[in-house]
Amino acid sequence: MEPFIIFGLGNPGREYEHTRHNIGFIAIDKLSIAWNVDITRVRYKSLIGEGKFGENKVILVKPLTFMNRSGNAVSSFMQFYKIDAARILIIHDDMDLPFGSLRIRADGGSAGQRGMQSIISRIGTNEFARMRVGIGRPPGRMDPVDYVLKKFTEKDQLGLDLVLDSIVRAIETLLTDGIEKAMTLYNHSVLNDE
């Protein structure tokens, strides 16, 4: 069976660790713990780990190309593994969703997210699964760039833990029962429903 490749978008480097923009990297780290997958190899300018969830061969990927060039890594993996876009999932941050919300879709546009724009441009289709993870809007007049590059606060941490647990369950549902079931169960605000 073809592998299912899960890409978490973010920026490499210590200064970006645990920032809102790096929620994709944080989610991949959570999946690696849940599924006991070591993410230690470098391939196609990405940190990767290979493992299994149930009957599914999974590859967890953190592109090291910086967010705006994520398409370079995604296209390289698709070409190497000769897989269809239906076998990938992209996890990324979304300022237009409240903190704690998840939105899973089977296809769609970039919603202005530059990493997603890069992927759609490089692979030539928007027909791939994506999970938008809400980080909320910046407070007051804070610059959006400054906001997404701020680290999650200690106050955010409890909510973030709940979000990450839901991300893992949603992806496990997607792999075992399909994207429609995952959308039905997890397209909501994790924090309001707990």
Residue 18 annotated as catalytic = no
Alpha-carbon gap, residue 36 to 144, rounded angstroms: 35
Catalytic residue among 18, 21, 92, 188, which?
A: 21
Longest C-alpha distance within the chain, in Å?
A: 50
Catalytic residue set:
21
